[in-house]
Amino acid sequence: MDWFNQVDATYRNDLRELNEQNFLRFDSKLEQRLTEFESRVDKKIAELRDDFRNQIAQLRSTDLADIRIEIRTAENRLLRWMFASWVTTIGTMVALLRLWG
């Protein structure tokens, strides 16, 4: 029985050492992969930052006169629609008041 316990203890120790070695390999691979991932993320962030800066520069270089013209055009269209709406509403109210009055 002692011999069986000795063999069992030996196998346990061997298994423990094997598990520790596997864990150390896993840990080193995980650390390496995390480092690689971190460098890829840093690179991607730098690319996005440069792209964002380029787009901001393009927006700043857009001629402000063109933007002002677009705003004025939109304002003119809005005023025309508002005027047409007011005229229609007032005309309807006047017609209803004459009809009932």
The count of structural domains within the chain is 2
Query: Does residue 40 sit in the same domain as residue 54?
Result: yes
pTM (2 d.p.): 0.46
pLDDT tens, residue by residue, 29-66: 999 999 999 999 999 999 999 999 998 888 777 677 78
Domain residues for the domain of 89 are 64-101
The residue among 82, 80, 86, 79 whose CA lies nearest residue 94 is: 86
Query: Does residue 54 sit in the same domain as residue 69?
Result: no
* pLDDT at res. 86: 96
% of the chain surpassing 90 pLDDT: 60
